[in-house]
Homo-oligomer: A and B are copies of this chain.
Amino acid sequence: MIQKSFGYACKKIREGKGLSQEKFALLIEMDRTYYASVESGKRNISIQNIKKIADGFGISISELFETVEKG
């Protein structure tokens, strides 16, 4: 399911950068508990918030979804 795959990819990229959920959420100015629920696949996240996350990782949205689709 897309929410789960998206959350898993975010977790993988964030961990690859050695950032905690707290630090990353702070960096992108997103509520920490909201970001945690995105990683858990619980949120039908919007395009604005997807953009915020991609920007925080320093990648484009298409690159973020390449990671999502690789699984």
Q: Which residues of A contact B (CB under 8 A)?
A: 2-3, 6, 44-48, 50-51, 60-63, 65-66, 68-69
Q: Is B47 a contact partner of A3 (Cβ separation < 8 A)? A: yes
| Chain A at the B interface: SS class | helix
Q: How many copies does the complex hold?
A: 2
CA separation between A32 and B41, bound complex, in Å?
A: 28
Q: How far is the CB of A1 from chain B (nearest CB, A)?
A: 9
Most B-side CB within 10 Å, residue of A47, A50, A62, A68? A47
Q: Is A45 a contact partner of B46 (Cβ separation < 8 A)? A: yes
Contacts of A61 in B (CB 8 A): 2, 65, 68-69
Q: Is A45 a contact partner of B47 (Cβ separation < 8 A)? A: yes
